[in-house]
Amino acid sequence: MLSEISSHILNIGLLELSSLYKKKEISPVEVVDLLLNQIDIKNDKTNAYIDVCVESSLKEAKKAEKEMLLEGVKGALHGVPISIKDLIYTKDVKTTMGSGVFKDFIPDYDATVVEKLKGAGAIIIGKTNTHELAYGPTADNSYFGSVKNPYDSSKIAGGSSGGSAAAVATSLCYGTLGTDSGGSVRIPSSCSGVVGMKPTFGRISKYGVHPLTWTMDHVGPITKKVADNAVLLSYLSGKDDKDPLSLEKEWENCYSKVGEGLKGSVIGIPLYLCFENIQNEIKHAIQNAIKVFENLGAQVKPIHVSNTNDVLYACKIISESEAYLVNKNLVSSFNNLLGDETRQRILQGANYKASDYLEAQQIKFENILDYNNHFKDVDVMITPTLPMLPPNLGEKESLVENKREDVRESLQRFTSPTNLLGFPSLSLPCGFSASGLPIGMQLIGKKYDEANLYRFGYAFEQALQN
């Protein structure tokens, strides 16, 4: 049984852990030992990890401990155990993409984001489970078994980064990296009651990340707390010559506005997105969240985001077309190892014409302009992260306002538009259902304005705690 001290260490955030390191109240070796023991005991509950880096994490913990004794703590991630979605390449560590096709694949280099983490002194504790090839929002079809919701093992943990969010929620790491092509960081963050950011497109390098869609893929951090998320994203940001889609820009420190008040700010409420065709418990949680923001001094302004159905149509065409081109060789070469559902989804993308893709791109550009116009009048927009509570594992349809809906499409309804348009969006917990399942709220910001999203998220988080 865990001691009170050990339980406390496991449940703190990465900034709190770094503070304990600075005070020399605990060592990285003690933390990694504790985590490895907990993963051994608790991972079966959620199936969050595919691979645990036992030997290398202990080695890196000893190295970090020596560095701290000689030179002190060199930064917020020094000695902090971080997990990595098993879609992101890790040198000499299996990277499976949640697929039998890659079950024995071992990269000979690190993804740029992993290099950045290691350069900051972080310890890679393991690789987390994912929907096969990251092609789905449920994480219940991995070759290595379904990821289960930490609050109810009969429910999905969300996908595709389900293992990453579940690992954070069950205190089996202090932060993690996921990927997000249609909501794959934010959906599982909502399902597991944690904080997940999809940043501005191009802020984080995707070099060494197995692609799903070239123009909608993002890497993003998942943490327990908003401030931790801001710090982690700051370490990951920056131009990378190995990724031609990464942006050459002087990025603002994501943590710079954490703690600032909200008086005088304006929050846009897309009425159709917030309050129509969602389950009642989600609606009530968002209404309560809006009241919290108003109490913090923010002004609320109803807005009309145009062409919502057109945006979802464009998301579908672009994502499926690109996913087919990325993965078509897998369908023909590895039929015996690729899951049937994944194979069928990949093949769907072969049905579109070039004119369909170009029409979708035009919709994309028109709606980027529409969002930019709204952001002249509001600082952030609010939507639910999901229109429904986490459905059952394997469930294909779910009931939303007395209407049966495709689970996969419903889960991505509020999240996929910002993948298409490139705007940053943050999911954070905003309550629980009567059955004890987490409910998430999504904040959408201007491009390059992640620091402001964290300002709003942190203020909301603190208000709930007080």
Q: Which residues are catalytic?
A: 85, 160, 184
Q: Which contiguous run of DSSP H or E holds residue 417?
A: helix 416-421
- Spatial neighbors of 208 by CB under 8 A, at least 6 apart, are 88, 89, 107, 109, 110, 111, 112, 113, 114
> Do residues 192 and 150 touch, judged by C-beta distance below 8 A?
yes
DSSP state of 88: B
Give the number of other CB atoms < 10 A from CB of residue 184: 38
How far apart are the C-alpha atoms of 316 and 357, rounded to whole Å? 10
Cα torsion 302, 296, 464, 46 to 10°: value is: 40
What is the token pair recorded at 135?
């092609």
* Pairing, β 438-445 against β 403-406: unpaired
- The values of phi and psi at residue 462, to 5°, are -65, -35
Contact between 281 and 432 under an 8 Å Cβ cutoff? The reply is: no
